[in-house]
Amino acid sequence: MNEPGLRDLSCADDYDPNSMPVDKAREVIARFLTPVSATERVHVRSALGRVLAADVISPLDVPAHDNSAMDGYAVRFSDLAADGEVTLPVAGTAFAGAPFAGPLPAAQAVRIMTGGVVPAGADTIVMQEHVNAAGGRVTIGKGNRKGQNLRRAGEDLRAGAPALRRGQAVRPAEVGLIASLGIPEVEVYRRLRVAFFSTGDELVSIGTVPKEGQIYDSNRYTIHGMLERLGCEVMDMGVVRDDPALLEAAFEKAAEAADVVITSGGVSVGEADFVKELLNKLGQVVFWKIAMKPGRPLAYGRVGNAHFFGLPGNPVSVMVTFYQFVRDALLKLSGRDPVEPTPTFKVPCTSSLRKAPGRTEFQRAILTRGTDGQMTVRVTGEQGSGILRSMSEANCFIILPTDQGNVTPGTLVEVQLMEGVI
């Protein structure tokens, strides 16, 4: 194997494993991500949410013909008067889908509608608002420019040129663009297969009445939802008890079936050694304490041939570490190229925030537009990593950088939306 081993990495890299900076962790993970290579052909509609595995080459010029950008009259510029007016007979019409037969006769005009094919010989479109039309003739004033209001064949896209690039995600705009080229099927990467399970003796699944000390497993549901949103093929492997033999069996089964294995729980202090031992046997894993809140413990590595993300157990930590580390990694593995970091921007924060320097914080927050039209952000309230409601109420994260201390109301803070527009 040419890939650098994870063990090499943990030795070679200059970082404190008990306080790994967020950016460093992202950078290290990125080194190991080789995208899926298998592809399949799908119908253009089914391509929504998939990643293109080949450039989409335009089989035609777009637009296919010189056409009018306006409702008006197609003329020869040389028939117009530089100063004063000219009156031309109207030879016929060119409607969208119903062209004028033949070339534009000398010293005449053709009535043309938006999208109508420009008759041969015509080089200028005069807007209908700028003419006087009466009795089969049209009077055109001065001030026209040669070539105005005319869209040239191939102006948007030339036949043979790439309309879309390999690695691009197919959104509704791409579906429409592919359809506009008359292409029925496209080549996409196969979906990334992701297996996941929850660990913990205290967990019960919905449908079971929890006994004292037991709680419902929610992480499997959030993880399932986040994976579905990314277009992954998901394998929900249920809850696995904190039992070495059961965990080993679950890891082996997951690694055999999937490209990526995600677990939650069992990586915090007290449990880490046990899971660590197991994973060192089954693969190669680096355990990190990330300098972040929430989501401090995180494991990353390989189990068998699968990538492995060991997320913390607390429900909010699961979502934050998923969005901040796993999401981009899965996009990259799915063939997305490039994977741009989720955009952030700065707005004034109306809450007062407590923050200790030394770690990156991802506070759950609500971005709103006030009656004055200004955007501001406020936190959702209690920020405990077990309070899943803080994620549900939030529409964004406030990202407080490592060196940041307490925040007073009115300070500009960095905000990252949780929801894309598309």
Positions in the binding site for ligand AMP (CB under 6 A):
198, 200, 202-203, 215, 217-220, 264-268, 271, 312-315
Beta bridge partners of 151: 67
Is the CB of 154 or the CB of 312 nearer to Mg ion? 312
Q: How far is the CB of 416 from Mg ion (least distance, A)?
A: 28
Is the CB of 167 or the CB of 313 nearer to Mg ion? 313
Is the CB of 163 or the CB of 226 nearer to ligand AMP? 226
Beta bridge partners of 94: 112
Q: How far is the CB of 176 from ligand AMP (least distance, A)?
A: 40
Q: Which does 349 bind (CB under 5 to 8 A by kind): Mg ion, ligand AMP, none?
A: none
Q: Which does 259 bind (CB under 5 to 8 A by kind): Mg ion, ligand AMP, none?
A: none
How far out from the chain centre does Cα 5 lie?
30
Is the CB of 119 or the CB of 313 nearer to Mg ion? 313
Q: Which does 217 bind (CB under 5 to 8 A by kind): ligand AMP, Mg ion, none?
A: ligand AMP
Is the CB of 267 or the CB of 279 nearer to ligand AMP? 267
Sorted by sequence, the CB contacts under 8 Å of residue 280 that are 6+ apart come out as none
User: Which residue type occupies 136?
Assistant: G
| Residue that is written with structure tokens 């969005």 in the block | 323
Q: How far is the CB of 262 from Mg ion (least distance, A)?
A: 15
Q: How far is the CB of 211 from ligand AMP (least distance, A)?
A: 14
Q: How far is the CB of 291 from Mg ion (least distance, A)?
A: 22
Q: How far is the CB of 35 from ligand AMP (least distance, A)?
A: 29
Q: Which residue is nearest to ligand AMP (CB)?
A: 313
- The helix, strand and coil proportions of the chain, stated in percent and rounded to the nearest 5, come to 20, 30, 45
Backbone angles phi, psi at 379, to 5 degrees: -80, 160
Sorted by sequence, the CB contacts under 8 Å of residue 207 that are 6+ apart come out as none
> Residue 191's closest CA among 232, 235, 230?
232
Alpha-carbon gap, residue 25 to 359, rounded angstroms: 13
Nearest 5°: the CA angle 62, 63, 66 is 140
Is the CB of 167 or the CB of 313 nearer to ligand AMP? 313
Binding interface with Mg ion (CB under 5 A): 200, 265-266, 313
Backbone angles phi, psi at 137, to 5 degrees: -130, 155
Q: 77, exposed or middle or buried, with CB in 10 Å at 0-12, 13-18, 19+?
A: middle
Q: Which does 219 bind (CB under 5 to 8 A by kind): ligand AMP, Mg ion, none?
A: ligand AMP
Q: Which does 174 bind (CB under 5 to 8 A by kind): ligand AMP, Mg ion, none?
A: none
